[in-house]
Amino acid sequence: MWHANILLRTRQVEDIELQLADILDSNLQDSDRVKSAAAIDAPPALGKSTVVNNFGRVFHQQRIAEAGEWLDADRDVRHLPVCHVTLTGRLTIKGLHMMILGFYAHPPPPGSCTAPWPVGIWRGRRRNASSGTTPGW
């Protein structure tokens, strides 16, 4: 049997996680400065997605433990500190913003999108949605 998403704690994995944590820590700065970002590039099937997904999962769980699971007193809006979107090869800034808005089920600004939202993009983002669940790690 083979499981494709096993994360082995190698030196390289620990180095990547340390660098990602440093980037997150350095992003706690004034809004007038450019914030750093990470790009992980390597040939296919080396575990890039697995490492980043695991890092996001751990960060998400830490933030929920610190700040709580809900953003409001009515327990209507869940706290989702990590946004997971799949990037395409020809992504524009507008496309990235639309993907992030779609992840959080936030309507786009008026006049910013001529195409309709995909069916079901709102499902599951709020507790009172039709499915009654929200995405999470």
Single-letter amino acid code for the residue at 130: S
pLDDT at residue 20 in the model: 92
Residue 88 tokens read as 């395409």
Rounded distance between C-alpha atoms, residue 104 and residue 42, angstroms: 29
pLDDT at residue 42 in the model: 85
78, 69 Cβ separation under 8 angstroms: yes
Sign of the four-CA dihedral 39, 101, 79, 7: negative
pLDDT at residue 132 in the model: 44
Residue 125 tokens read as 């983002």
pLDDT at residue 135 in the model: 47
pLDDT at residue 29 in the model: 64
pLDDT mean by block of 10 residues, the chain; 137 residues? 73 92 79 78 86 91 91 85 84 87 80 54 43 46
pLDDT at residue 101 in the model: 87
What are the residues facing 70 on neighbouring strands?
78
pLDDT at residue 87 in the model: 80
pLDDT at residue 113 in the model: 57
70, 136 Cβ separation under 8 angstroms: no
Q: φ, ψ for residue 110 (rounded to 5)?
A: -55, 135
pLDDT at residue 96 in the model: 87
